[in-house]
Amino acid sequence: MKPTPIFENFRLLKSNMKENGWVIEAFAFNYKNTKYIVLVRLYQKSENKPKYALLKTEIIKEEDHNISILIPVNSNGFMTDAKTLREFFNIDYSENLGDILQQFNRHFANFIPTEINPKKSESLKNTMISSLSKSDSEDPNKKYCYTVKRNANKGERSPFNDNKTKLLRPELYLRFKDDSTISFCYSQNISDEKTDEEILLKFSMRD
């Protein structure tokens, strides 16, 4: 009987993300008294996906978000070299480095969820929102929804705008989730933010 791949949870997570319309997920990871945030993202059609890659991860030091690393993954492990992993995670060098890395992978695997977690900490949620904004070529500080718009030529809203609104304005999102030609507009100024009722009224008067 074939052994279960060490990162099998990533395969299950990918399936759950796709089923539920998510392009991103996040979870916490701890190693050697250092806390990390792990962003897991689906590859988009426009992206260059490495052969055999399942998902892409961005691993960020919680205490300093400027320190991060991008690593493709599949169910067998991280798709990078031992030196990269050892240096980023401060894994001790040893003559039996292969065994040490396997131990590290097994430790990491314990943190990988098999499905989307709807109850995230504010830290995880904010990191996801920032990443989604950047993926949509937007200022990561734009998180205050002030209106919705119908896209020109019935263009579809981006998956990043979609997921950002799921996180930030879940009730407003439900009003428009089935109409993919509508996008949600955000400002970096909290004074611009509107209530669901204000946004819906403005939209009904215009559409």
Instruction: Give the DSSP letter string of 143-175.
Output: -EEEEEEEPGGGPPPPHHHHHHHHHH-HHHHHH
Summary count for the chain: helices (H), strands (E): 7, 7
The CA-CA-CA angle for residues 16, 121, 11, to 5°, reads 20
CA-nearest of 128, 164, 116, 83 to 14 is 116
**What integer pLDDT is reported at residue 92 of this predicted model?**
86
Q: Extract the residue ranges of the chain whose pLDDT is less than 70.
A: 207
**What integer pLDDT is reported at residue 3 of this predicted model?**
83
According to DSSP, residue 126 is labeled H
**What integer pLDDT is reported at residue 207 of this predicted model?**
63
Asked whether the beta carbons of 74 and 49 are under 8 A apart, the reply is no
pTM > 0.75: yes or no: yes
**What integer pLDDT is reported at residue 2 of this predicted model?**
76
> C-alpha dihedral over 130, 132, 137, 139, to 10 degrees?
-20
Asked whether the beta carbons of 186 and 143 are under 8 A apart, the reply is yes
**What integer pLDDT is reported at residue 186 of this predicted model?**
98
Give dist(CA 170, CA 82) in Å, integer: 41
124 φψ region: left (φ > 0), alpha (ψ -120 to 50), beta (else)? alpha
Which sign, positive or negative, has the C-alpha torsion 135, 136, 137, 140? negative
Interior/surface letters 141-171, b for 16+ CB within 10 angstroms, e for the rest: ebbbbbbbeeeeeeeebbbbbbbbbbbbbee
**What integer pLDDT is reported at residue 96 of this predicted model?**
78
